[in-house]
Structure 1
């Protein structure tokens, strides 16, 4: 009887956890769709309330735009200042870190470069940037991670690259991540985990390198680093309050191929960059994104990256945050790395790929149930931290999916659905004018973004003339389109897919890399 009761208790326990997990998965989409349905329903039932709400919401959006513009300018100023500093010289003058009892010369950099079918040119450009960085290459351990499912394409590329670079660093190794391993989905996370464990077993442990002395930089394969990246990274590591309890986040600039991408692609790419820059100015809410660095000790403690998820770059933050009972943060480097903007030889294919990429980024919402479940089980993390992170994470995904729709729909919905009584009111006549005026003022955000995008352009090709600057500024009139088509819609789809689950869940989609060399 006792055995049956225990078995029943176990069944109920697992069933309850499964129900709770599903509830957490449904939350983001439920809030988003409830907002959209309420937008239509209330415009019909209480158009006056909706009209007042949208005016207040537009004012909020204006104030938020001004607030974020200040953060953007501050982040740019910090980045500009950091780009001028010789960080290696600063490191040499730093001395020994008292907490870790090491100096900069004791630090090794494990650099993971997972790839799929990217070309030799793309990989070579990334490695050349690492080779040309202002840092001792005898401290670099390079792992180039191929995928078995890419077959001979990846294998041949990896062999060619190894011949060119294996004698230029302290260590250069190739891994080949097997396909169809149990408990894995194809993607960066499973490959990175394979690479990290290989480095641990075959290099780090065999050479008795202390885990505390190793910084891991995991880069998208199109990432090119600026000369002082490893200098400022090591400096931050040796000077921050808790070096072994921090990730280190650079600013991603999607500009490697910016001159050969369509205007819409440029606007989307710079928008992603600007958001990350603004987040660097608000480090209290910063999480890891795309290419970043972290201590190997922490990576080993948590068991490396998740193998069955898409958004491994942001999940790693939550793995560490929960493992260390919230004693984890992201240190902003305020220093750039550059990557490719989304592009293909054909315009409509590019548009399709941009949508897929934004949807994949939106799939970072899969971290919400992981975070909430972790908070439920962890009794040590303070409640105020649980509430804070739950709110800003849910609010962020909700804003992603709904804000653009609210701004561009609520200004006219009460006029169409509010009925004759509302349409003859003074408020109905004033609503379009008031919202238009507020949104015109909010254009300050678009103007500042346009100017900043021109400032951040890399070295100009020979064909670039003075009038191209005008084109690169005027392209920002496309911002409203990008906010809806490449913002709200893919974000809403990702959240809906998470709620539906099963066959609707997203797998990892590899963004094709295209360089037009003509």
Structure 2
């Protein structure tokens, strides 16, 4: 059964693309009508998503102005544990492997500058044995500089070559949390119900009030112990020093997370996120043999608790690096690999679908909801850019003389072009929003007029970006899942280069 579910995403995507190719030859009229309706569907969807983006963006700007620590201090006591905000501890896990010291130090400085009692932060720098002397040296310097700053600072070394494990973040995070349980939590008799676990990539710098926002939502939610908590990732730490295509993908990923925040019923954990310790222990921590541990933990909890699990949007940013490289060619290659790794989230489909088949307690409505959402999402990722930007011409090329001389053939390019141009209006709107998210130049100077013009015009490269650095890697990931065996992807660590090119 699992193998069948592994074949499903790729079979649907390839079936759609090859089917449209074949039908453009055999049934060009039907394909032409389909493409017009498909383009119209995406135009309307773009408008719909823009309103979600606008709402989330406004909410985030509002949240950035709030003194969350002050709100916590006047929060009424709860009738269950933890009763008060100052009883909550935060276990912060930072996995790394051969990362530069400057990157790790930047993250620790952001933690040290939190507008929150630092004695409530228990920080774990989770290194890898295969990181060798590089990881050991970074850990030693971090321990020396920040050892007395937080309520606890632990450095762990995840052993290499443990049977059944994949070399990736999930295995390292699980190892690190188990060590932290022994040395930072159980040794101090801290109740598990009082601990929130936040997992961040080593380049992630949470906003100054992140732990205040997180604590407030955890205590205010009706069933806060049965929820994950998702901030908004802004890939802007090095946004001025990456190639144009990497910059576009970074903003698109951020915009998608903005949109999902206001569609919280669809929100799944992504990259940096937080989760209560008690359910994390109950579900067996993160899977140690997969790539997409960040999203998988949501589905582990969803299926373990019979559907009684959700992701709470925080409408608050964490700041991360966009994909970079020491040369433009290397940066674009890294961007492709990153998108392919993100698209490897399709490995959740066989897991989730197999669980749904076996689990008779999960409501059928919830099963259909998530089955459709996962299938449609990955299918659109791999196919929509091809259909919108390339396949509109197929009926005219393959449909034969009878179709080419028809009224529909004559008007097809104009109609599809008109719909795509309407979508450009939405793209321009996104471009203006991206300006508000763009930080000052690395020198500290504000953006100049030429920067605004450049950063607005770059959005007209969206068709190329979506095809080659989104759809193609997604289709490759699904193809690899179909082939299985040695074609399956392992975990690829995104390089963190401070000498990135622009």
Deviation at 1:444, TM superposition (A): 2.0
CA distance in 1, matches of 2:271, 2:109: 20
- 2:450 paired with 1:467: yes
Extract unaligned runs of 5+ from structure 2.
none
Q: Which residue number corresponds to residue 51 of structure 1?
A: 32
Q: Which residue number corresponds to residue 194 of structure 2?
A: 213
What SS does the corresponding residue of 1:248 show, helix, strand or coil? strand
RMSD: 1.1
- 2:423 paired with 1:442: yes
- 2:414 paired with 1:433: yes
CA distance in 1, matches of 2:88, 2:78: 11
Q: Which residue number corresponds to residue 287 of structure 2?
A: 306
| 1:265-320 Cα deviation digits (max 9, x unpaired) | 11010010001110111000000000000100111111111100000000000111
CA distance in 1, matches of 2:102, 2:79: 43
- 2:487 paired with 1:504: yes
CA distance in 2, matches of 1:237, 1:448: 34
Deviation at 1:465, TM superposition (A): 2.3
CA distance in 1, matches of 2:449, 2:114: 32
Q: Which residue number corresponds to residue 298 of structure 2?
A: 317
What SS does the corresponding residue of 1:109 show, helix, strand or coil? strand
Deviation at 1:95, TM superposition (A): 2.3
Q: Which residue number corresponds to residue 76 of structure 1?
A: 57
What SS does the corresponding residue of 1:513 show, helix, strand or coil? coil
Deviation at 1:97, TM superposition (A): 2.0
CA distance in 2, matches of 1:459, 1:38: 48
Count of residues in Structure 1 that have an aligned counterpart in Structure 2: 499
- 2:396 paired with 1:415: yes
Q: Which residue number corresponds to residue 317 of structure 2?
A: 336
Query: What are the within-5 Å matches in structure 2 for residues 257-272 of structure 1?
Result: 257-272=238-253
| 1:352-403 Cα deviation digits (max 9, x unpaired) | 0000000000000000000000101111001111011000110000000000
Deviation at 1:208, TM superposition (A): 1.0
- 2:353 paired with 1:360: no
Deviation at 1:23, TM superposition (A): 0.2
What SS does the corresponding residue of 2:316 show, helix, strand or coil? strand
TM-score (norm 2): 0.98
CA distance in 2, matches of 1:139, 1:250: 20
TM-score (norm 1): 0.95
Which among 82, 85, 88 is matched to residue 104 of structure 1?
Answer: 85
Whether the aligned pair in 2 keeps the contact of 1:50 and 1:410 (CA below 8 Å) is: no
CA distance in 1, matches of 2:246, 2:198: 27
CA distance in 2, matches of 1:291, 1:400: 22
Q: Which residue number corresponds to residue 479 of structure 1?
A: 462
CA distance in 2, matches of 1:342, 1:179: 26
Extract unaligned runs of 5+ from structure 1.
1-19
CA distance in 2, matches of 1:35, 1:101: 51
Whether the aligned pair in 1 keeps the contact of 2:343 and 2:477 (CA below 8 Å) is: yes
What SS does the corresponding residue of 1:309 show, helix, strand or coil? coil
Query: What are the within-5 Å matches in structure 2 for residues 393-412 of structure 1?
Result: 393-412=374-393
